[in-house]
Amino acid sequence: MTDDFHQDMSNAGVSALWERPVDTDRVVETPHLWPWNELDPLMDAAVDAVDTEDAERRVLVLENPAYQGTHRRGIGLNMVVNLQILMPGETARPHRHTFNALRFVIEGDGGAVTIVNGEPCAMFPGDFLLTPGWCWHEHSQDGEGRAVWLDALDVPLHSHFETGIFEPGPSNDIPPQARAHAYAAGGLMPVTAGAYKPYSPIFKYPLENVTRALSDMTASADGSKRIRYTNPVTGAAAMPGLDCYMLAPSNNIETRPYRTNANMVCLAVEGEGVTQAGETTINWHKNDIFSLPRNHWIIHRANSADAKLFQVTDRETLARLDYLSEEFPD
C-alpha cells in the first residue's frame, strides 16, 4: 500500500478499517467488596479532614480497583456510587444537574432532610430517595450524630453522551406537582394535565413500606422475595438511568442462578449472607457494599432471617435500548 494512498485518505478524512489495531485494553471487571468496617472509620476521618464550608459535598467515592491506571473512575460501568456524610448543623447547598441520582440512607435519626423540588424528605435508615435529573435538591442535618447515605448517579452515561449540565442554586422554576401522598393508594392515580415527567412523582420510599410489602407478598420458588422501586404513573423504573430493587433472600437457601449484561451494586441493608458471582465468593454483613459486574452467574444466600440487599442497576437503560440480556438455567 502506497504512502500516497494513506495521505489521500487523511486528506479525505477517512481511514482503513483493516489497519486499525485490535482493542486489547478492555477492562476486565470482577466483583469487589467494600466492607463497612473499613468504610466506617474513613467517614469519621473525612469529617475531621473537611467541613461543608470547604467542600460542596463531603463525599467518598467508591473506586473500582480494576480501573486503576485507566481513564475510568467510580464503581462500575454506567454508574458511580458514593458515601455522603452530613454532621449536625451542616447543610449542603441547593443545585441541580442532568444526572439522575438516588440516596439510600444508611445512618441517621430523621434529623437529616433532603429537599427535592421544594418537597422535604426526612431521612431514616433504609429510606430510598430520588433526586431525578434537573430536579433541585439540597440537604440539611438537625439530628444528633452523623447522617450517612449512599449516593448512586448515572454520570458515566451522561459523560459518554456529553449531556452533563450542572446549575448551582438558589432553587427556582420549580414545576407544580401533586404531593407524594396523592399516589399512596394502590389503583388510584391523579389525573393532571401536563403532569408527565420521566421520573416518579414520589421522591421518598420509606423502608417500612418496603418491609410491609415484602411481608405480604408470596415468595418465589427459591424462597426469595424481591421488590422493585417503580414510577406509579408508568410502572417502569422510578427514574431513568438507575433501576433499583430490594431483595430478601431466604435463610440458607440459594436463589435461582442468573446471568445478565446489566451491572449491579448491592448494599446490605440488614442481616448477612453470601453472594457467589462467577468464581468470586462475597461474604456480606450489614452496610457492606459490593459490585456485581455484567456477565457473571450470580447466586445469593442469606445467613440470617432478616437479610435484605438494596440493589441498584443499569438494567432499565439497557432494556430501553433493547440491549438487555438475561439468562436463567433450565
Domain ranges of the chain: 31-171+203-327
The model's pLDDT over 201-226, given as tens digits with 9 standing for 90+, comes to: 999 999 999 999 999 999 999 999 99
* Biggest CA pair distance of the chain: 74
CA 205 to chain centre: 14
| 58/47 Cα distance (integer angstroms) | 8
C-alpha cell at 75: 464503581
327 bridge partner residues: 259
User: With 70 as the cut, is the pLDDT of residue 194 above it?
Assistant: no
- 31-171+203-327 folds as Jelly Rolls (2.60.120)
Contacts 24+ apart (CB under 8 A), 57-61: 57/84, 57/92, 58/84, 58/85, 58/86, 59/83, 59/84, 59/85, 59/151, 60/84, 60/85
User: With 90 as the cut, is the pLDDT of residue 69 above it?
Assistant: no
pLDDT of residue 29: 87
Cis peptide bond upstream of 170, omega within 30: yes
Residue 65: strand, helix, or coil? helix
Residues near 101 by Cβ (< 8 Å), separated by ≥ 6?
130, 131, 132, 137, 151, 152, 153
Mean pLDDT of the region 271-281: 97
| 228/40 Cα distance (integer angstroms) | 28
The model's pLDDT over 16-46, given as tens digits with 9 standing for 90+, comes to: 999 988 876 678 889 999 999 999 999 999 9
What would the DSSP string read from start to end of 244-277? EEEEEPPBT-PPPPBEESS-EEEEEEES-EEEEE
CA 125 to chain centre: 16
Q: Phi, psi (5° rounding) for residue 228?
A: -110, 135
pLDDT of residue 68: 87
C-alpha cell at 308: 435484605
pLDDT of residue 1: 59
